[in-house]
Amino acid sequence: MNMENVAIITGGGRGIGAATAQLFARKGYAVCINYKSRSAPAEALATAINGEGGRCIAVQADVSEEADVKRLFAAVEQELGTPNVLVNNAGILKPQMRLEDMTAERINGILTNNVTGYFLCCREAVKRMSSKHGGKGGTIVNVSSGAARTGSPNEYIDYAASKGAIDTLTKGLSLEVAAEGIRVNCVRPGLIYTDMHSDGGEPGRIERLKSKIPMQRGGQPEEVAEAIYWLASDKSSFSTGNFLDLAGGL
Ligand code: NAP
C-alpha cells in the first residue's frame, strides 16, 4: 500500500516522456521512468530527480513484450507502491515512405510497439487501479498524435494508424472502467521538437512544416507535459474519454 501518488511514464527517457517525468516529480509524484534501449538518459534523469529531492526509478522494459510489462509493474509496486497514474507514451516511427513500399515486418513492428504496448500497460494498470479488483482508482493518459486525424500521407500511414487505434482504445477503455474509479484520457500532440523526427528520417521536419501551423511554430515537450499532468491529476476530475489536441491549431 502506498500513501503517495505513483506515476509510470512509458518511454520516459527522452522527449515528451522525459518532460512529463520531470513535471510529475516536481508535483510530488513518485515516478517510474520506463525506457527500452537508451539507459543512459533515463538513468541520468532519475538521478537528477532524486538529487532534487524527488523519488524516481528508471526501469528497462520493452512495453510491447508481455513479460517485460509484468516485470515493469511489479518493480514499480515493489519499489514505489501501487501506481495510480499511467502515462502511455512509448512510441516509435520509421523512415518516411509511401504505403506501397512498406514491408509487413515494418507495419507489424509499428503496430506491436505503438498499439500492443499501450494495451498491455493499460491491462496491468486496470488490474491494480480498478475498484472491481479492490484498487483505489487512478488515471490513464494515452499519448496519441494529430496523425490519427491527418493519416500522414506520403510519410507514415502505419504510424498514423497506430495512433488511430490509441484513440479508439481511449474511448472504449474509458467507458469500460468509468464506474470503477479509473479515468482514461488522451493527448494528441502535433509537431513537437523531439528526436523522434530524426528516427523518421527528417530531423528538420518541423522547420519544413511550421508555416502550415496556424500558430506558426512547433511545440515544446513541456507544453505537452502540462496537458498530460492536467488530465492525470484531480484538476480534471470529471473528464474521461476526452482528447486534448496540442497542435498550435493544426
Ligand atoms: P522520442 O523522443 O523518440 O521518445 C520516445 C521514447 O519511447 C524513447 O525514449 C523510447 O525509448 C521509448 N520507447 C519506444 N518504444 C518503446 C518500447 N517498446 N518500450 C519502452 N520504451 C519505448 O519521442 P517523442 O517525440 O517524445 O514521442 C513520445 C510520444 O509522443 C510517442 O508516442 C509519439 O508517437 C507521440 N507524439 C510525438 C510527436 C512529436 O512531434 N514529437 C507528435 C505526436 C505524437 P528508448 O530511447 O529507450 O528506445
Ligand 1 shell residues, CB under 6 Å: 10-11, 13-17, 34-38, 62-64, 89-92, 113, 117, 143, 145, 189, 191-192, 194-196, 199
pLDDT one-digit tens code per residue, 25-75: 999 999 999 999 999 999 999 999 999 999 999 999 999 999 999 999 999
Ligand 1 atom nearest to CA at 196: 3
Asked whether the predicted pLDDT for residue 1 surpasses 60, the reply is no
Assigned fold of 6-190+221-246: Rossmann fold (3.40.50)
Q: Look at residue 32 in the predicted model and tell me its pLDDT.
A: 98
Asked whether the predicted pLDDT for residue 3 surpasses 90, the reply is no
User: What nine digits make up the cell of 246?
Assistant: 496540442
**pTM across the whole model:** 0.98
pLDDT one-digit tens code per residue, 192-215: 999 999 999 999 999 999 999 999
